[in-house]
Amino acid sequence: MATFTYKAIDDDGREVADKLVAPDRAAAIEQLFGKNLNPVSVERAEEAPPQGVFARFGNVSKREIDTFTRQLGNLLAAGVPMSRALGILSREASRVASKKLWAVVHDQVAGGMSLADALSLHPRAFSPIYVAMVRAGETGGFLDIVLEQIATFRAREADLKGRVKAALVYPIILAVLAAGIMIFLLTFFIPRFSQMFAEFGGSLPALTRYIVAASEILVTYWFVLVLVLALLAFAIQRMLASDEGRRSMEGLVLRLPLFGTGMARFALVRFCRMLGTLVGAGVPLIASLRVAKEAIGNQVLADAVTDATERVQKGQPLARSLETCCLLFPASVIEMVSVAEESGRLDPELVRLAGAYEDELDRHLKMMVTLVEPALLFLMAVLVGTVVIGMLLPIFNLQELIR
């Protein structure tokens, strides 16, 4: 049972405001009609704006949303009415945050709101892409199929992101390890050798003098270096916060060897899969392009898709509109999209292209790690070896220094 606040009009035309207790919003409205009151507004007493659900109980995880999507699709496919299915999911939710959110959605739908409209009130849990697909499924009468498509799409997206992150973990660890070793050598190891060399006197080899000077600078002015790095990080953050700065940085990343190609392929996979899923769910092509553009994750490439969307809106074919962005769409992709448009199989072809280029992206990531790993190891060996050799050179002339 829940407490609801309401405003209603009685038979004499006067406004009445009060509270009542009911299992859900629909039951509360029925009680008001039973009292000869015409409801104006009926809301849960504890119901806050959508952000309040998260502020009080915490975020609903992506895994819980995926489970909700798949289970709701299964219940609807089995013939369970929407309101009852949402009630079942609300009762079976294991965490307070998800239980609260599913209950709010249930009450909104039971009160006459469409599922898409109810979900759009909770943007932190349900993205515009999610809502657009649900709206298309409700309009076309195949919501259970669309929910299954959404669950599959989100699972493939999570798997793709996981593989990209996993491929970058080892290079990042090597880079951090190399930096840590160099800092240790310059701040702990070399100062002790410097004291020993100073006691012997004499002239040190040039390489040793350079290394000792670098060590002294790092030990003496470490706070200045930390401040410079902090200011650099702040400047980059401010640059990424502006549209122009973000475009410049992302354009630079796209021009990097290996990384630029990987970024473009990652954007292509996400765009093709999302566009194919949206079109297959019955979302109009123009709306699908605008929504799928948000999945690219690179503003430079998204701008190219925006231009293509405007061309499609003017009546040009999709393939010819996309061919201007050759960095994102290779010539082979343009030709396959063109054939798919002519044959009326655009959505399955886009999903197939996403799968094919996902495999290519996987191979590209493995090749990138295979090349970057020995390069980083070689860099570590050169840096550490240079420091060690620089410290050992004076020892070879130790007898001369003692004299």
> Do 218 and 318 share a domain, yes or no?
yes
Claim to verify: residue 17 and residue 146 sit in the same structural domain? no
Residue 210's domain spans which residues?
132-403
- 144 in the same domain as 105: no
What's this model's pTM, rounded to 2 decimal places? 0.60
Identify whether the C-beta of residue 263 lies closer than 8 Å to the C-beta of residue 299: no
pLDDT attached to residue 50: 44
Pick from 259, 306, 322, 179: nearest CA to 249? 259
Distance from C-alpha of 46 to C-alpha of 253, rounded to nearest angstrom: 48
Same domain, residue pair 83 and 95: yes
Token code pair at residue 97: 């945050």
- Pair (61, 26) in one structural domain: no
* Pair 18, 6 in one domain: yes
pLDDT in tens, the chain (403 residues): 567 788 777 766 677 888 777 766 767 777 877 787 767 677 776 444 444 444 444 578 888 888 888 899 899 888 888 889 888 988 888 788 888 888 888 888 887 888 888 888 887 888 777 887 787 778 777 788 888 878 887 787 788 778 778 777 877 888 888 888 888 888 887 777 777 766 665 567 788 788 888 888 888 888 888 898 899 888 888 877 777 777 787 778 778 877 788 888 888 888 888 888 878 877 788 878 877 777 677 777 778 888 888 888 888 888 888 887 777 788 888 889 889 888 888 888 988 888 888 888 888 878 877 887 788 888 888 888 888 887 777 776 665 555 5
The per-residue pLDDT for 200 is 61
Domain with 86 in it: what CATH number?
1.20.81.30
One domain, residues 243 and 376:
yes
Domain count, the chain: 3
What is the radius of gyration, based on Cα positions, of the chain? 31
Q: How far apart are CA 17 and CA 8, in angstroms?
A: 7
Structure tokens at 48: 């806050």
Q: Which of 94, 126, 158 is the last residue of a domain?
A: 126
Same domain assignment for residues 395 and 281: yes
Helix H or strand E encompassing 310: helix 299-313
One domain for residues 206 and 260: yes
Task: Give the end of a domain, one of 126, 157, 173.
Answer: 126
In this prediction, residue 399 carries a pLDDT of 56
- C-alpha distances out from residue 74 to 10, 83, 275, 300, Å: 42, 14, 24, 39
Give the pLDDT score at 109. 86
The predicted structure's pLDDT at residue 54: 44
Answer whether 89's CB lies under 8 Å from 72's CB.
Answer: yes
Q: Check which CATH number belongs to the domain holding 17 and give it.
A: 3.10.20
Give the residue from 168, 169, 161, 140 showing the smallest Cα distance to 295: 161
Which of 29, 47, 65 is at the close of a domain?
Answer: 47
201 conformational bin, left if phi > 0, alpha if psi -120 to 50, beta if neither: left
Residues 246 and 394 in one domain: yes
Same domain for 11 and 85, yes or no, is no
Contacts (Cβ under 8 Å, ≥6 apart) of 298: 250, 253, 254, 263, 264, 267
Are 186 and 320 found together in one domain? yes
